[in-house]
């Protein structure tokens, strides 16, 4: 039986974001996003996500918002190793404009939904560079549940956390426009890596993951 790595994708994304990873004998198990309950707190939501984990002390990979949820899961169950990619570890790593937006509850005044005229800006911030990537991101926008989206954006902007597990490994791109590297302290930097680097720089990231799992 192959060893299992659990994975949580970014906000609104699914298992396709992991499909270019090459992790040899490891089997990837994607934990799908759940529809949030009314007024559900992030720790409560993370507890429901954690119920999909069927192994003791697993390896967990979280991408972007999935990395934040993974840290909340690590508060509740022991992990052998937590690897976050294109994500943040604490409130202090959140870009200042996001902290301000959260403190002013701007997401509640102007709910964030995917609009056609914002696609180009959004694609640039994500680091979309090919037609395949445009189609991938467009598909995510079209199928994302607006209830989940508004809840998730509010959680990102208002995340209050200064804790992280000892087992955490942070992989980040120096061209990430969502969570700029200058705000972060990470173990591995992907030169030229954008917020979408798990998809388009998967070979390099795969080697780093295997390297960390071999320690």
What is the model's pLDDT at position 85? Answer: 98
Q: Which residues of 40-75 are buried (b: 16+ CB within 10 A; e: fewer)?
A: eebeebbbebbeebeeeebbbbbbbbbbbbbbbbbe
Angle between helices 119-126 and 131-143 (to 10 degrees): 120
Q: What percent of the chain has pLDDT over 70?
A: 93
Domain span at residue 196 reads: 4-213
**pLDDT exceeds cutoff 80 at 111:** no
Confidence band for 153, pLDDT divided at 50, 70 and 90: very high
What is the model's pLDDT at position 109? Answer: 46
**Which tens digit of pLDDT belongs to each residue from 14-51?**
999 999 999 999 999 999 999 999 999 999 999 999 99
- Indicate the pTM of the whole model: 0.93
Confidence band for 100, pLDDT divided at 50, 70 and 90: confident
**pLDDT exceeds cutoff 60 at 203:** yes
**pLDDT exceeds cutoff 70 at 110:** no
Query: What average pLDDT does this structure show over 100-118?
Result: 59
Q: What is the DSSP letter of 20?
A: T
Confidence band for 135, pLDDT divided at 50, 70 and 90: very high
Q: What is the CATH number of the domain that holds 50?
A: 3.40.50.1820
Q: Which of 9-18, 91-100, 186-195, 202-211 has the lowest mean pLDDT?
A: 91-100
**pLDDT exceeds cutoff 50 at 66:** yes
What is the model's pLDDT at position 204? Answer: 98
**pLDDT exceeds cutoff 60 at 115:** no
- Total domains in the chain come to 1
Query: CB of 122 within 8 A of CB of 112?
Result: no
What is the model's pLDDT at position 108? Answer: 58
What is the model's pLDDT at position 148? Answer: 94
Query: What average pLDDT does this structure show over 164-172?
Result: 96
Query: What average pLDDT does this structure show over 57-64?
Result: 97
């Amino acid at each position: 039986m192959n060893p299992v790595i659990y994975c949580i994708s970014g906000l609104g994304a699914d298992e396709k974001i992991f499909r270019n990873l090459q992790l040899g004998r490891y089997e990837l198990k994607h934990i799908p996003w759940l529809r949030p309950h009314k007024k559900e707190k992030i720790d409560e939501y993370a507890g429901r996500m954690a119920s999909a984990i069927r192994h003791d002390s697993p390896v967990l990979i979280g991408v972007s918002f999935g990395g934040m949820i993974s840290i909340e899961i690590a508060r509740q169950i022991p992990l052998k190793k937590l690897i976050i990619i294109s994500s943040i570890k604490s409130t202090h790593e959140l870009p200042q404009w996001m902290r301000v937006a959260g403190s002013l509850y701007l997401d509640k005044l102007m709910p964030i939904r995917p609009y056609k005229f914002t696609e180009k800006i959004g694609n640039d911030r994500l680091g979309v560079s090919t037609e395949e990537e445009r189609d991938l991101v467009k598909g995510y926008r079209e199928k994302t549940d607006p209830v989940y989206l508004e809840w998730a954006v509010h959680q990102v902007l208002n995340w209050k956390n200064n804790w992280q597990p000892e087992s955490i490994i942070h992989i980040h791109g120096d061209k990430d426009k969502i969570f700029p590297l200058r705000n972060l302290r990470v173990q591995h930097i992907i030169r030229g890596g954008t917020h979408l680097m798990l998809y388009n720089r998967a070979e390099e990231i795969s080697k780093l993951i295997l390297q960390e799992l071999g320690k």
